[in-house]
Amino acid sequence: MSLRGLRLTGTTLAAVGLLLMLTVYGLSFFWVPTEVAQGVIQRIFYVHVPAAWVAFMAFGLVALTSAMYLWLRDERLDRAALSAAEGGMVFATVVITTGPLWARVAWGTYWTWEPRLTLTLLLWFVYLGYFLVRGSAENPERGKRFAAVVGIVGALDIPLIHLSVLWFRSLHPKPVVAKPEGPTLPAPMLITLLLGLLAFTLVFLGLFLLRYTLQTLRDAADARDRRATV
Amino acid sequence: MPGTAVPPSEGKGIMKSKGSAIMVSLVFVLLLVAAVGPLSAAWPPSAPQATPLAQQSLRPYVNVFIAYAIALLAVLGWVISIGRRLARLERRLGE
């Protein structure tokens, strides 16, 4: 696909995702019933969980494209990894800021060092390291390779985060959707959650394509400047 | 008049500030839209077993509003950041 095509597709996906996101906001306030045990605060679920899903998907994409970059040394894979890492950081930041707002009311504290919270914070710092490693290397090619390794290692934390509520004593509830016997949420809650997952995924994919386009243009500009100075 | 013509760089500045003003207005409108939900959810007029207002704590509503605003602002922030970098890069490539 041409850069113009990528840009158009990215803009369309992001716009549709953003509109859907606002629809989910509306549904979560006007359609979904208030949860009996937690009350209004449970509505953070409809942004917290989709943001977590997209962050994990983005970091999974970083790991996949980074592994393929180390194998094939194709610059397009490195650009994809960098673009996905940026998106992953945006959504992971949403997760670790909305979670404490929910916890303050549900648990009485903004933060506690329970396994899932700790592992999620660790994931955020690992991918912060991804950018630091990339930016601090004197040789850009070496920086890309080191960052790719960090991207792969960081993704190992994702299954641990998912399974931590089953393996350890945790304040987080057990899964209510991704479990063998199927989701146990009431229909309005489940539909709103699924729409939220779709909305956040579309926003991520759209902006990922735009960020990839940006990186391609930047590499082209850098290559042109290098040719001009030689 | 040729003597009072706006230099191209200043013209671009005006365009940029107009663009910023539109972007700020857009964010403000979106925040207002997002605010309608929590505020109306806070006092459902027809909820039969709603707790009397005096006994309710506003903290859950405020936290939900902040969480929704954070998600929206994070996404819009990323959109604006990518847009600005793309525009800058296109100017650089056009030189």
| DSSP per-residue letters across A182-208 | ---S-HHHHHHHHHHHHHHHHHHHHHH
More confident residue, A79 or A164: A79
Buried b (16+ CB within 10 A) or exposed e, B53-86: eeeeeeebbebbbebbbbbbbbbbebbbebeebb
In a domain, B49, yes or no: no
What proportion of chain A, given as a percentage, has pLDDT over 70?
A: 98
The tokens describing B32, both together, are 């207002």
pLDDT in tens, A167-226: 877 777 776 666 777 777 888 999 999 999 999 999 999 999 999 999 999 998 888 888
| Cα–Cα distance list, A224 to A83, A87, A221, A229, B26 (Å) | 22, 27, 5, 9, 37
pLDDT band (50, 70, 90) for residue A52: very high
B42 Cβ under 8 Å from any chain A Cβ? yes
CB-CB neighbors (< 8 A) of A101 in chain B: 63-64, 66-67
Q: What is the pLDDT of residue B29?
A: 59
Structure tokens at B72: 């929206």
Distance from C-alpha of A23 to C-alpha of B34, rounded to nearest angstrom: 10
Please write down the HEC assignment for all residues of chain B. Answer: CHHHCCCHHHHHHHHHHHHHHHHHHHHHHHHHHHHHHHHHHHCCCCCCCCCCHHHCCCHHHHHHHHHHHHHHHHHHHHHHHHHHHHHHHHHHHHC
Residues of chain B with pLDDT under 70: 1-56
Structure tokens at A92: 């992971």
Q: Give the per-residue pLDDT at A107.
A: 87
pLDDT at position B59: 85
User: pLDDT tier at A119 (50, 70, 90 boundaries)?
Assistant: very high
Q: What are the boundaries of each domain within chain A?
A: 3-224
Contacts of A229 (CB under 8 A, 6+ apart): none
Residue B48 located in a structural domain: no
Our count of domains for chain B comes to 1
pLDDT at A204: 96
Q: How does residue A140 score in pLDDT terms, banded at 50, 70 and 90?
A: confident
Residue B89 lies in a domain: yes
Rounded to whole angstroms, how far apart are CA atoms A46 and A27? 10
Give the right CATH number for A3-224 from 1.20.1070, 1.10.10, 1.10.3470, 1.20.120.
Answer: 1.20.120
Which residues span the domain enclosing B21?
12-40+58-94
Residue B31 lies in a domain: yes
Task: Note whether residue B90 is domain-resident.
Answer: yes
Task: Name every residue in A having a CB less than 8 A away from some CB of B.
Answer: 14, 18, 21-22, 25-26, 28-30, 34, 39-41, 43-44, 47-48, 51, 86-87, 90-91, 93-94, 97-98, 101-102, 104-105, 203, 207, 210-211, 213-214, 217-218, 220-221, 224
